[in-house]
Amino acid sequence: MERAFSVFGWRRSAHPFFCQRHACVLNAFRGCGCLALGLFLFSCSPPPHAPSEAPLGEESALLPGYIVVCIIHGDGGYLFHDPDGNEYRADEEALAGAKKVAERNSQAEVFIFHEKRRRHFLLFFPRHDGEFYYYRNGRLLAQESYWRDKGQSRFDPEVELYYRFRAEQRPRPVRLFLYFGHEIPEIGGAGYDASYRKRTFTINELVDGLKRITRDSTKFDLIALSTCYNGTPHTISALAPYARYIMASPGNLHLSYFDLHPFEELDVGLRDGDVSAFAKEFARQSFDRLTKDIQTEITVAVYDVDRVQGFLNSVDSVYDRALTTLKEKAPTSIEHCDCAEDSAYVLPGMSEGIDVFYRPARFGRSKQKQGHSGWECFKLPK
């Protein structure tokens, strides 16, 4: 900037007023430039680590007995209204709930990843679109902003942060994975992120992330999907190698349907190490919460991965053909249905290993439907 003004140097001795005015202008430009640069650097830099009472490596006396990994997708339309008309953003509500879980568990290690819509500072400078929170033993030890699109794979940044901060583990901690977001597509997946319209996200990308987090071949004890329509044979089969139990909805539910209260006292809910009972209680409380506020059909299911494997093996080829048909015909809208409405899936033991919490809609065609198989399929275009 000074070089740009130097071309006027010959005038400095020619006119004292010009020299004073020039100096003021130069100082003003310097001040504005420094301010803009400072604000830009502030907007692009991650916040400092949250203060902790001890370095990360000095808490071995309280090794976590529980690991909770929580991914909250907020790069989409998550605005909703409660029955009283109050306005909320579901991803922000989920973030607040996850932080409460992290703060109230003195023996847990909690990783929270909030995927946000990309925004710009002063219209030109992009801001970080990921926020990471790391809690151990009820205390926030680190908070970092990050770029979500840095890496070849969808969850490269999250996997890197997970392994950078994780603690030395007990022989067998209880491992829990929570995902909040829209329906995770099984095919296509373009436009899932509002900020990256050409970037795809399907169940395969989620599986890739889980595979790298569980690279020691240790499964998550529970994977819970707070999404619509992911209680399908393909989704459960894809997640099965990385979970003992899976909680998902075969129906159309909002991301906010999780009731995280059972997670706030893991020492109580998992006192006996009974993950199956904990998952069912988690599902029941979420179901009860929904029935108070929602008039549409409600379905929440818990899948025992080992027990549903027989059914999944039997219908794998049938479901794959359905997905292939959808790819080829590319319908403008995909209509879902209970798999029990398609004779190709009605097999002995179809609902074995599934605990289904179901209530029909208060109105419409499904008002008379009295139960659900726990599996969601597609109505193929004719």
Instruction: Tell whether the model's pLDDT for residue 374 goes beyond 80.
Output: yes
Query: Tokens standing for 147?
Result: 């770029």
pLDDT at 24: 42
First to last CA, the chain: 68
pLDDT at 67: 96
pTM, two decimal places: 0.82
pLDDT at 57: 52
Question: Residue 41: phi, psi to the nearest 5?
Answer: -65, -35
pLDDT at 382: 67
Q: What is the per-residue pLDDT across 188-233, written as a single tens digit (0 to 9) for each? A: 888 899 888 888 899 999 999 999 999 877 899 999 999 999 999 9
Are the CB atoms for 40 and 32 separated by under 8 Å?
Answer: no
Arithmetic mean of pLDDT, 356-366: 87
Arithmetic mean of pLDDT, 299-308: 97
Question: What's CA 169's distance to the chain center, in Å?
Answer: 24
Q: What is the per-residue pLDDT across 315-347, written as a single tens digit (0 to 9) for each? A: 999 999 999 998 887 767 788 999 999 999 999
pLDDT at 379: 85
Q: What is the per-residue pLDDT across 236-284, written as a single tens digit (0 to 9) for each? A: 999 999 999 999 999 987 555 688 999 999 999 998 889 999 999 999 9
Closest CA to 178 of 239, 265, 123, 122: 239
